[in-house]
Structure 1
Amino acid sequence: MAGGDKVVLVTGVSRDLGRRCARALAEHPSVGRVIGVDAVPPRGDIGRVSFVRADIRNPIIAKVIAKEDVDTVVHMSVIATPGSAGGRNTMKELNVIGTMQLLAACQKAPSVRDVVVKSTTTVYGASNRDPAMFTEDMEPRRAPRAGYAKDVAEIEGYVRGFARRRSDVRVTMLRCANVIGPHVDSPLTSYFRLPVIPTVAGFDARMQFLHEDDLQGVLEHCVSTAIPGTFNVAGDGVLMLSQALRRLQRPTVPMPAFAVGGVGSLLRSARVAEFSPEQKALLTYGRGVDTSAMREVLGFEPRFTTAEAFADFAADLPPTGGRSERALTALIDRIPAGGPRGGGHG
């Protein structure tokens, strides 16, 4: 669609990925204006994006959509890390209540024609009963009981409900593989940046990645072409965790699964890295998603393969060694050699 007349609202612009994607959308020829929304101002240059300070958990978001005559909403305000949100309860509120309020505002706004939601392949979970590749119509083998994966499942349910109630709106849901790149700060990139990397002994997880530039690319594609549906989005191919770690040339410590959970707790409390139960499952069993619909229906082809996306991320990492490596090794040494105490996460 040419003419630059679209008015796009982007949520979650205080975080780097949201800010960068909003900036890229503002430069797209089909877009006239971009309104970036978040509860706190973004750090860094937002280019031609107009920032509006608004919490999407508050009904005020409906007034922003109406006042700006928004026709396209890009929802990126789904948070994977409790630490960055101020705790698990706040994270759930931002993710689930925020999405509910945003969709309620979209439902009431006659100007809204297109809604694009950045979801995640985390919705499929990761277990020893998974298929080789998840297609979009498959359910997780184990329904998530808590945390980020449960939030995403609830969010997707609300999005499907909205699509039924506003059948005139084109709703595109993007289940993105783990986004990676030099500028990405996420639980998984924090893990790969560790000077010593704990792994789950006896397992070699299959990984798929989406380069940060391809996330921008697929959002631009969806805003300009507006093809409804749910799509897995990932770079071509898979990378085994062992291959990825060899490319990083960092020391690894294979550990029993319960001990990796213990390391995760220590890393969290030391504010070194977020290490959720979902991430532990991913690093144990891995996950693969089929991206045929992304190419054949959505009409999008990532520029980076999974291996190329990881290589670009790895090329930017500083060399390891010294005090940080010794400190992390000391942390790992504190994990008891026996079994886990109490229940813990399955």
Structure 2
Amino acid sequence: MAKVVLVTGVSRYLGGLFARRLSADPTIERILGVDVVPPRHSIGRTEFVRADIRNPMIGRIMAQAGVDTVVHMNVIATPKDTGGRVTQKEINVIGTMQLLAACQKSETVQRLVVKSSAAVYGSSPRDPAMFTEDMNPKSMPRTGFGKDSVEVEGYVRGFSRRRPDVEITMLRFANVIGPSIRTAFTDYFALSLVPVPLGFDARFQFVHEDDATAAMILATTGPSVGIVNVAGEGFLTVTQCAAIARRPILPVPLAAAGMIGSIVKRSGLADFSADQLTFLAFGRGLDTTRMRTVLGFEPQFTTREAFEDYVRYLRPAVPGVDGVGDVVSDAAEVTAAAIGRVFDRIQP
């Protein structure tokens, strides 16, 4: 059972939310929160320690406190949060390597919990309808956060071979969404005009920020479960999301999606890598059987409910216009019908 917990990334939104809610557990004797900058939000009774996980001093902090459980939540999804792609990769990959090196040397660490991502599965037209935890992607992520997540998981597996006595739980989350968290996807659906790859209507799964936090707490305080997919029940497509968010869509050829993404990225409105744009075309599905049967977790929000909770706090695309949702829904239906007719004509 966790007694002394070290949490990385407490100055980020999910890390702070996790630390704050873990503070309510009376069985946890002490919580240390590590980050390079002080948090601007409450972290409960967590003791903040200003430190960089890329620095070997993290090992001394763990030894002095007698840490028995390490919760790694500092794998950063968007480079603009760190000042650029180079810094993002250093924090994600080099930071994880240093953290695991400290865990390997520790005489007190008994459990490692890692917040991973379903981005490790990539996204391609050859993928299965639903990924189980033991499946490998048909096309590996080649850039950005997805590639970092694959490397992080590789280092964790190496650590597990070197320290088989340490329990490991790794949760692969679908896109986390909610009223307060900000990600590339929340920025994308906040655009006044949502670019959508022409001829595609990818399926998405979401997990609410509250459910993501609850799953991490269960992984920290409950039994060790290995690798588990975490997502809300059901799916939404891109056009359904746009309709719920009351956003008009702009169909663009997939070949031009990269150019559109670059323009949006340079404008500072949203941050999209090539892999994220591919995800918008092909989507991804996660099998969550292990989440329910092994982790023993049931999300409070379905995929649709999580997205609707995010939209509830979203500014309208056109202030004062209440009928945008109906217009978007009609446009989505017309676009889908037109695409269907094109495919009917080209089918052999």
User: After TM superposition, is the score higher than 0.5?
Assistant: yes
Q: How big is the alpha-carbon RMSD for the aligned residues of Structure 1 and Structure 2?
A: 1.2
Aligned partner of 1:204 among 195, 201, 204: 201
Aligned partner of 2:76 among 74, 79, 84: 79
1:285-342 Cα deviation digits (max 9, x unpaired): 00001000111111111111111111111111122226xxxxxxxxxxxxxxxxxxxx
Specify the code of the residue in structure 2 equivalent to 1:107.
Answer: Q
2:172 matches 1:175: yes
Corresponding residue of 2:150:
153
Cα distance in 1 between the residues matched to 2:211 and 2:268: 29
Shift of 1:173: 0.5
Corresponding residue of 1:328:
none
Shift of 1:145: 2.5
Cα distance in 1 between the residues matched to 2:145 and 2:246: 30
Corresponding residue of 1:215:
212
Shift of 1:264: 1.2
Q: Which runs of 5+ in 1 are unaligned?
A: 323-346
Cα distance in 1 between the residues matched to 2:47 and 2:264: 37
1:84-142 Cα deviation digits (max 9, x unpaired): 12211111111000000001101111111111000000000001101000000111111
Equivalent pair of 1:180/1:309 in contact (CA under 8 Å)? yes
Equivalent pair of 1:37/1:52 in contact (CA under 8 Å)? yes
Equivalent pair of 1:114/1:226 in contact (CA under 8 Å)? no
> How many matched pairs?
319
Aligned partner of 1:16 among 1, 13, 17: 13
1:27-67 Cα deviation digits (max 9, x unpaired): 12332221110111111222211100000000010011111
For 1:16-165, list aligned pairs within 5 A.
16-165=13-162
Cα distance in 1 between the residues matched to 2:281 and 2:317: 24
3-state SS in 2 of match to 1:119: strand
Specify the code of the residue in structure 1 equivalent to 2:87.
Answer: T
Shift of 1:144: 2.4
Specify the code of the residue in structure 1 equivalent to 2:89.
Answer: K
Of residues 118-127 and 28-37 in structure 1, the stretch that sits farther from structure 2 once superposed is 28-37
Q: Which runs of 5+ in 2 are unaligned?
A: 320-348
Cα distance in 1 between the residues matched to 2:190 and 2:27: 37
Cα distance in 2 between the residues matched to 1:305 and 1:208: 9
Shift of 1:146: 2.5
Shift of 1:258: 2.5
Cα distance in 2 between the residues matched to 1:258 and 1:31: 52
3-state SS in 2 of match to 1:162: helix
Corresponding residue of 1:340:
none
Equivalent pair of 1:26/1:32 in contact (CA under 8 Å)? no
Aligned partner of 1:231 among 204, 228, 233: 228
Cα distance in 2 between the residues matched to 1:97 and 1:226: 28
Of residues 262-271 and 174-183 in structure 1, the stretch that sits farther from structure 2 once superposed is 262-271
Cα distance in 1 between the residues matched to 2:300 and 2:162: 35
1:212-261 Cα deviation digits (max 9, x unpaired): 00011111111111323100000111111211111111111111113221
2:289 matches 1:312: no
Cα distance in 2 between the residues matched to 1:99 and 1:110: 19
TM-score scaled to structure 1, two decimals?
A: 0.90
Equivalent pair of 2:119/2:141 in contact (CA under 8 Å)? no
